[in-house]
Amino acid sequence: MNFTKEQILAYCNEFSKNTLMETLKIEYIDAGEGFLVAKMPVNSGVHQPMGLLHGGASVALAESVGSAASQFFINPKEQEVRGIEISANHLKSIREGIVFGTARIIHKGKSIHLWEIKITDEAGNLISLCKLTNMILEKKKTE
């Protein structure tokens, strides 16, 4: 399926309403051939008790952007995406600002998509490196 950058971003931002992505203020900001980028503000709402970006918030950003990106390689009328495994290495801490999650496709199979998601700060420093595996399922027919 072919979509323009504007269509991809509008779709992703629209389906994020009333979800964890909206709670975390994740916004999709760029897209292209085999990649999708979202940003998330770093503030007390995503901090762990020591005032640093919570690793779980980083993983939520990674899974959100990687799962959204898989949507554009499937037929949404017949298929759906399920994240089945995610791993994260947190390499640097951040207290405030904005982080960016960039998902790039590593493997695009019929039933499995593998994504690498780099989470960086505004200066381009690598905060977390994540890997997400998505399973592509056939939607169940309703009679």
Q: Catalytic: 85?
A: no
- The DSSP symbol for 47 reads B
Catalytic residue among 6, 27, 63, 78: 63
At position 142, the amino acid (one-letter code) is T
Q: Which two tokens stand for residue 35?
A: 């990649």
Strand 27-32 to strand 112-120: parallel, antiparallel, or no bridges (unpaired)? unpaired
Q: How many C-beta neighbours within 10 Å does residue 3 have?
A: 13
- The DSSP symbol for 142 reads P
Cite the active site residues. 63
